[in-house]
Amino acid sequence: MEEIGHFIGGNRIAGTSGRSQDVMQPMDGSVRARVALASRAEVRQAVENALAAQPAWAATNPQRRVRVLIKFLELVHREYDALAELLAREHGKTIPDARGDIQRGLEVVEVCIGAPHMMKGEFTEGAGPGIDVYSMRQPLGVVAGITPFNFPAMIPLWKIAPALACGNAFILKPSERDPSVPMRLAELFLEAGLPAGVLNVVNGDKEAVDAILDDPDIKAVGFVGSTPIAKYIYSRATASGKRAQCFGGAKNHLIIMPDADMDQTVDALIGAGYGSAGERCMAVSVAVPVGKETGDRLVERLLPRVESLKVGPSTDAGADFGPLVTREALERVKSYVDLGVEEGAKLLVDGRDFKMQGYENGFYMGGCLFDDVKPHMRIYNEEIFGPVLSIVRADTYEEALRLPNEHEYGNGVAIFTRDGDAARDFAARVNVGMVGVNVPIPVPIAYYTFGGWKASAFGDLNQHGHDAFRFYTKTKTVTSRWPSGIKDGAEFVIPTMR
């Protein structure tokens, strides 16, 4: 069986903590590998390698740094198929979905090729008598990312690429559930010309996370995961003087106006609600039809589509979605469906008893559809993270708008309508960070920033786009005057530009 250790100082090394855990293959429930769980000493080893390598990397001019990113893109495309299969086997998503995971990460790498422009400061000549003022962006030093299981390529790349482009060294702590793709990406960065030690990968659990949060030489931490953990990481990181951007849970609504194209809407809900078995922070988990007739038409069209969803192993290119990531995740999602029935929601499609022939030990679940879900129910208020869609009916547009506005989470939201006035009003008034208009999963393209509001995000800056370069750099402002032979004498008041 494969033993997965860590990637430190440019090499794969075995774990020394004596602790490890199984890496599963969700489609058949088998154990693929054992992954080492890092101790504090191993995390510190990675930090020391990063500290040693970072100054020379920061001194490398930005254009040369991005040449490494360009070469990395070439190498990933060389291994695209192998990476996608590896990702699918450890996560459970289908291979086409795994390819999308990789591609969305590469799009951020592509944007980071513009780092020489993004790193430019400002200059003002003659700001005062013989005085020029200019600013510069400089790397923070050693930074870290703690990334989730559901996007083992995309989210590490969202964090690694801008951090490296800015001249930082990076410590990655990926999910211990599917660590193989992050490890391989680190090797490809090295092959692309990244100096050894600039990028290190430590696999682990809470002990490794706490070591990252407490280490005084790590200057910033990025995280994606559940809201309770996001709160924990944000508070502990900032208490130790670090910058932190932490992204948490979601409950994404899709509002369906009476004039919406119902075929387009149902297609959107099927893909956005059930794709990747619902294990996406931007999955649509709540459909909100406005008016009884709209709700009835929605159910009529949606019901047979959910019943006919094709669930299959990760290697089945024709499957709509594959298994959940672990047996624990499967049981958790099933327990939420049980809870919804107890709470009085109407379960129209029940996927709890789904079994995949030939893969009976896999972590499979069919699509579930609830109707008549009420805002007081836990299945509405809590993130389920599985193939479960809830219909919450609203009598009016204003009632529909209140639902995402008053919800704890504020990650993503969408409205489907043909009415431009309604769409414009919704986009302006909804209290959510990312909004789609006839787009079900409003993940911004890579040169805009990604980030939710309310309990979905902690920190002042978002992921990728301009905010990534702001997060991974500090601004230094220089005010300069060269001696001209004029003696002004001492001044005892605050300098002004009069």
| Nearby residues of 90 by Cβ (< 8 Å), 6 or more positions away | 23, 24, 25, 26, 32, 152, 177, 178, 179, 180, 181
Cβ atoms of 195 and 57 within 8 Å: the answer is: yes
Q: Residue 489 is encoded by which pair of tokens?
A: 């004498």
AA identity, residue 480: S
Read off φ and ψ for residue 21, nearest 5 degrees. -150, 165
**Cα–Cα dist 311/264, whole Å:** 22
The active-site residue out of 112, 166, 281, 368 is 281
Ramachandran sector of residue 489 (left: φ over 0; alpha: ψ -120 to 50; beta: rest): left
Q: Which two tokens stand for residue 177?
A: 């559930």
Distance, CA of 353 to CA of 44 (rounded, Å) = 46
Per the annotation, the verdict on 166 as an active-site residue is: no
Residues 195 and 10: their CA atoms lie apart, in Å, by: 8
CA distances from 228 to 54, 224, 234, 250, 266 (A): 32, 11, 10, 12, 32
Among 441, 401, 413, 497, smallest CA distance to 100 is for: 441
Residue found under tokens 């809201």: 227
Q: Is the dihedral of CA 228, 233, 236, 242 positive or negative?
A: negative
Give the active site residues.
281
